Structure 1
Amino acid sequence: MHVPDGFINAPTSVATGVVAAGAVAVSLRGARRELDERTAPLAGLVAAFIFAVQMLNFPVAAGTSGHLLGGALAAILVGPCTGVLCVSVVLLMQGILFADGGLTALGVNITDMAIVTTVVAYAVFRALVKVLPRTRRSVTGAAFVAALLSVPVSALAFTALYAVGGTTDVSIGKVATAMVGVHVLIGIGEAVITSLTVGAVLAVRPDLVHGARDLHRPLKLRVNGELVDAPGTVPVPVAARSTRKVWATGLAASLLLAGFVSFYASASPDGLEKVAADHGIDDKAEEHAAAGSPLADYGVKDVDDSRLSGGLAGVIGVGVTVVAGSGVFWAVRRRRSGSVPASPADVSV
């Protein structure tokens, strides 16, 4: 759902840029509370994984494809504030290096794909886990529903922005119907990818899933009228457990998806591109400012073999995203460590 240059007028683009900048600033502060020594490097990996999976367009209807947005996945794995930053890093890398999503529309894309999807998904997820049984299946089920709903809501958010600042005269009602219809189907794919990924991490390292941190509470016993933890039920500290295996596995999977599996992705236009073409939204689309980038359109310039060109671009994208994301999150974590006294939970034993 990457919005290109020319779809939204300048005043609305500027306004969404201000909203995006404010949300990123708030998220930087919030991420300090969400990240610790174990999860800070994994946040960069989550961004790289989202970049890789977004290259895998899957068919959803005749002549239409979809791809992961990633807000729900990031929010559940590393927290909502960190999730906004993860998707924002991905969008920034895609816009600057790969000419995917307009640079003047960066505020629109961050508002729609990073903020809306993350906030909606995490709100739905938290509401569901509060009422469902406290099990891993409940977490993956809640992740499925949250991801599913986040995509059509994002489509509605784009439609609302287009109603305010669209550059062509089209029927907003028809656009809304078309956007929601196709993005409900895309949401199913988003939900499957999100729940499978969350379930896979839960199976090996549930302590690394932000949305499942309070999954198992200690058994309480009433002693002399007071509730105390039952013997043997106090959680074992996990701060000292290494995340290297998870990080290496996740990076390898991301490189495989972007460098090899992406060659088999659907070549059909995604939901927004299809609706834009069908309803005349793309009449005033502008050429991307980074159209001359050596990596534009997810291919390496002057590499003639399409499989090799796309694979190299994907590998480079994963590498750049994981470095950029990890740098941001390590900086956030270090700032927290330097400004906030360490709590007992932050100390390895």
Structure 2
Amino acid sequence: MHIPDGYLSPQTCAAAYVVAVPAWAIATNRVTRVVKTRNVPTLAVLAALSFLVMMFNIPIPDGTTAHAVGAVIIAIALGPWAAVIAVSVALLFQALLFGDGGVLAFGANAVNLAILMPFVGYGVYRLIAGRAPLTSRRRIAAAAIGGYVGINAAALATAVEFGIQPELFHTASGAPLYSPYGLSQAIPAMLLPHLTIAGAAEAILTGGVLAYLARTDPARLAATHRDVPATAGEPAPAGGRRLTPARVSLGFVAVMVLLTPLGLLAPGGAFGEGAPHELNLGQLGLHAVPAGLAEYNGFWSHTLLSGYGFHDGQHANLAYILSAVIGIAVVAAVIFGVGTLVERVARRRRGTDPVAEPETA
């Protein structure tokens, strides 16, 4: 679901930044309501988790791949504005360091995955969960459904952005300048894998993580679940001293890093993420790669590990693990730094009041 450079016109990319930049500004201000000092590490870990799950490509029967995102669980745990920051940072470094998603198209990817997805998913979650206790099956189901709806909303938005390009930007003869896929091609190609495989993966991830957090560390959810009981009548069981949530989270991330090469097993690539030379021109009725796509696709050429691999294409598994390690280190460090800075600024504004205000979508 990462749109590369060249598939969207510069005008479309600019319009996406017009939406994204104010959202980032508002998120930076609003996130101070829930991201207190004790929650900054949680935000960093969840941002790293989002980065990692986007590296796990899931094969789709039609020969393409898809992946989960993790945006909705961040929204549920720390609020949708925190998800805007966390997922945007993950997307930014995926584009800059690994060429996964475009730099020009970063605003569009952020609008789809870091803004639309968490807000839609969080809204669905709150609507379904109501006043149910944190550990109730209803709330866990609400989280799963929210994750499912959120990722499909993002997939639909991506498909529309692809699909309107041939209609809006084309040559005098009608040949597309950027994305060659119309709405009739883009919408089914995006929604089919997300309504089935990727949506299910996102639902399992969102519901599973919330169930774990609610039972082991419900205090982490307090800012976004004020006045919501932990259970129907008893306090949630605390985690053991050895298997604290922090240690389990770090262990889980470490295991995921080691398993990231499994993402290489999925044949083919995601719809719309291929290089221009990979287009089936004959099937698309084209004689040449669209001019704008060819011009802008190589806009950013300063990646560290392009496509999560070495430039010579050797040792793919090692390169994928190295990419995961570098990615989570950079994303977590940046989020931790930003969160700490935002918290310090917030403290100066309000004095030393440590009380978190309720988050509202």
**Cα distance in 2 for residues equivalent to 1:314 and 1:168:** 29
For 1:6-17, list aligned pairs within 5 A: 6-17=6-17
CA contact (8 A) 2:163 2:186 kept: no
1:184 equivalent in structure 2: 195
Over 3 Å counting, the alpha-carbon distance change for 1:345 and 1:211 in structure 2 is closer
CA contact (8 A) 1:294 1:301 kept: no
Q: Provide, for residues 64-105 of structure 1, a one-character-per-residue CA deviation record: whole Å limited to 9, x for no partner.
A: 221112221210122110011110000011011011101110
3-state SS in 2 of match to 1:73:
helix
Q: Does 1:123 align with 2:123?
A: yes
3-state SS in 1 of match to 2:130:
helix
**Cα distance in 2 for residues equivalent to 1:64 and 1:127:** 33
CA contact (8 A) 1:99 1:288 kept: no
**Cα distance in 2 for residues equivalent to 1:344 and 1:321:** 26
2:172 equivalent in structure 1: none
**Cα distance in 1 for residues equivalent to 2:226 and 2:269:** 38
**Cα distance in 1 for residues equivalent to 2:57 and 2:224:** 27
**Which 5+ residue runs of structure 2 have no aligned equivalent?**
167-177, 357-361
2:255 equivalent in structure 1: 256
Judge which range, 19-28 or 303-312, deviates more: 303-312
| Counterpart code for 2:260 | S
Superposed displacement of residue 180, structure 1 = 1.9
| Counterpart code for 2:218 | P
CA contact (8 A) 2:98 2:306 kept: yes
Identity %: 27
Q: Provide, for residues 277-312 of structure 1, a one-character-per-residue CA deviation record: whole Å limited to 9, x for no partner.
A: 578598536444444523111124568422222211
**Cα distance in 2 for residues equivalent to 1:24 and 1:344:** 24
3-state SS in 2 of match to 1:8:
coil
| Counterpart code for 2:214 | L
For 1:1-349, list aligned pairs within 5 A: 1-130=1-130, 132=132, 135-166=135-166, 167-168=178-179, 170-185=181-196, 186-209=198-221, 211-216=224-229, 245-258=244-257, 260-265=258-263, 266-273=266-273, 280=284, 283=290, 284=293, 286-301=296-311, 304-343=314-353, 345=355
| Counterpart code for 1:329 | G
CA contact (8 A) 2:148 2:202 kept: yes
**Cα distance in 2 for residues equivalent to 1:271 and 1:201:** 34
Over 3 Å counting, the alpha-carbon distance change for 1:8 and 1:256 in structure 2 is same
**Cα distance in 2 for residues equivalent to 1:152 and 1:46:** 20
**Cα distance in 1 for residues equivalent to 2:20 and 2:158:** 14
Superposed displacement of residue 326, structure 1 = 0.8
Judge which range, 294-303 or 147-156, deviates more: 294-303
**Cα distance in 2 for residues equivalent to 1:55 and 1:69:** 9
Superposed displacement of residue 249, structure 1 = 3.1
Judge which range, 59-68 or 130-139, deviates more: 130-139
3-state SS in 1 of match to 2:206:
helix
CA contact (8 A) 1:17 1:108 kept: yes
Superposed displacement of residue 141, structure 1 = 0.8
3-state SS in 1 of match to 2:60:
strand
**Cα distance in 2 for residues equivalent to 1:53 and 1:134:** 24
**Cα distance in 2 for residues equivalent to 1:131 and 1:64:** 40
**Cα distance in 2 for residues equivalent to 1:149 and 1:170:** 24
Judge which range, 51-60 or 145-154, deviates more: 51-60
Superposed displacement of residue 177, structure 1 = 2.8
Over 3 Å counting, the alpha-carbon distance change for 1:300 and 1:199 in structure 2 is farther
Over 3 Å counting, the alpha-carbon distance change for 1:268 and 1:204 in structure 2 is farther
Superposed displacement of residue 341, structure 1 = 3.7
**Cα distance in 2 for residues equivalent to 1:308 and 1:253:** 19
Superposed displacement of residue 268, structure 1 = 3.0
**Cα distance in 2 for residues equivalent to 1:148 and 1:216:** 25
3-state SS in 2 of match to 1:84:
helix
**Which 5+ residue runs of structure 1 have no aligned equivalent?**
220-231
